Structures are given as structure tokens and as C-alpha cells.
Amino acid sequence: MAGSGQIRQLRRRIRSVRSTQKITRAMEMIAASRILKAQRRVLAARPYAEQIRDVIAGLAVDNEVRQHPLLRAREARDVAIVVCTSDRGLAGAYNANVLKVAERTIRDEEAAGRTVHLYVVGRKGAAYFAYRGRRAERAWDGISDTPTIDGASGVAQAVMDRFSSEEFDRVWLVYTDFRSSLVQAPVRMELLPVKPAEFEGGTAMRPEVVFEPSGPGLIDLLIPRYVEAKVLHALLESAASEHASRQRAMKSATENASDVAASLSRVMNQARQDQITTEISEIVGGAEALSSAV
């Protein structure tokens, strides 16, 4: 009987598709719950960034911020690009999208005759660039999934040091902006130099305010904090986007698995019916042959 072998094979394929479906459904649900958590972290980090900005803006009214090493704009020769990708895959086009923007930025900068230095967050991005023979000056893994200020300040510190020492003249931050669970857009933002316009519009500190250390000293302390908060924000947005992207990818994978299982079942039922038909006609044929032989 040729049919039974085929049926067994189909049954095995259906089983494997269904078990894959269980995994993708679990991943979908995990990602869905983590989107919310990640979104909440984005919101929770906002007050700090706003307060820091307000305080610097207040100090900027009476103090010169333009001369701070992190605000000094100069002709760009060496450019650093920080790319935020994920550690894990199975997140749809999430990494591909952000890497596309990174590639475009690299191309633009190199076309303008500038040297590009690459900093990569996330194992996926590191692997992508390693495969293409572009060495990242530094790569971080383990911080993109649930970003902390420690992780963010490590990244920020690395580029701030080299910007202050004028090894870099511009730093791009490439990350994924979480607009909603359906829309995440890869974006690039100029992290350094910080534009003085960002600190405009502050209300002057009242004259009785005590500064410890003095105003300029405080500005020196606060501006790096501000840059760190920006990096943290980018990492948090990226993490939320990663989970949203994974949720969508896993949702469609689960749906596809249902479709495949359904069409395989149809083929299998057909094969089973064919087999039964064959068996019946064999029996009938056999019986007829016997009766006519008598």
C-alpha cells in the first residue's frame, strides 16, 4: 500500500508544524507583555531627562554653555556612529531596518570624505558588521534587552571621551523610535555635539540661589548626564520597538503555521480517503474474482 507511507509522513509534518506554532505563540505572548513593560520604562525615564534639561537651561541663561567641550561644533573629519540593535533574532525586520539606516549614514559620511568609527549595541548588529568586514571599535551585548543607566552611561562615556578629546567631531545615534505598537521607525539623531538650542528658553535662576559647586562647575557635571539620558532614551525606545516587532513577527508566524497545518491536513485526509477507496475496491475485486472462479 503506497498510501500509508505518505499518510505517516504528512502526519509527522503536521505534528512538527503544530509544535513550532506552540513556540511562536508563546514568544508572541511574551513579547506582547514585554512591550507594555518597555513602554512603561520609556515613560518612567522621561521626568529625569526633562528635569536635567530644565536645570541646564536655567543655568544656561547666566552661564556660557557654548564653550563646553560637548557642545563645540567644528568641521567634521571623524564621525562616530552608535547603532542600537537587539541581541536576539526572530524580531521580523527590526534589525534589518535599523541597520539599513546605519548603512545609509555610513555611506553618506564616507561619501563626504569623513572617517567613520563604528559603535554597536546588540549582538545582531555586531554580527552583521563583522560579516561585512567592518570592525566595530566597541560592541556591547546584554544591554539592549532591558536597558539600564549603567549600560547607557557606558556607551555614552565611550563616545563622549573621544569627542571631548577631539578624536571625533560628530556622533550619530541610530536607533528605532517606538511610535506605537504598529509603527516603529528607525531614526538617526545627532548625539554630539549637543546643540546649544536645546538649552534655550530656560528661566533664569533667581539671584539668591546657592550653587555648589559654582554655576559653570555644575554645567560641566550636568551636560554628560544629559547625554547619558539621551542614550538611555534611545536604548529604551529600541527595546520597546524590538518587543513590538517580535510580537508582530511571531503573530504572523503563528498564523502561517495554522495555514500550513490546515492545508497539510486537507492533503492528508484526501490521501486517507484514497487509501480507503483503494482498499474497498481491492476487496470487492478480490471477492468478485473468487465468486467467478467457482
| Interacting residues with other proteins (CB under 8 A) | 41, 44-45, 47-49, 51-52, 55, 59, 148-150, 152-153, 205-206, 208-213, 217-218, 221-222, 225, 228-229, 232
Which three cell numbers mark 130? 563583522
* Cβ neighbours of 253 (radius 10 Å): 18
| Least gap, CB of 160 to other proteins (angstroms) | 14
**232/101 Cα distance (integer angstroms):** 20
Given a contact cutoff of 8 angstroms between Cβ atoms, the answer to whether 83 and 159 are in contact is: no
Asked if 84 is an active-site residue, the reply is yes
In the bound state with other proteins, the residue whose beta carbon lies nearer, of 43 and 289, is 43
In the bound state with other proteins, the residue whose beta carbon lies nearer, of 59 and 250, is 59
In the bound state with other proteins, the residue whose beta carbon lies nearer, of 41 and 162, is 41
| Least gap, CB of 47 to other proteins (angstroms) | 5
Please tell me what DSSP assigns to residue 207: T
| Least gap, CB of 188 to other proteins (angstroms) | 23
In the bound state with other proteins, the residue whose beta carbon lies nearer, of 218 and 260, is 218
Given a contact cutoff of 8 angstroms between Cβ atoms, the answer to whether 209 and 275 are in contact is: no
CA angle 108, 138, 132 (to 5 degrees): 55
**90/154 Cα distance (integer angstroms):** 27
| Least gap, CB of 147 to other proteins (angstroms) | 9
Which candidate in 35, 52, 82, 84 is catalytic?
84
| Helix or strand run (H / E) with residue 121 | strand 115-121
- Position 214, amino acid: S
Which three cell numbers mark 9? 509522513
Active site residues: 84
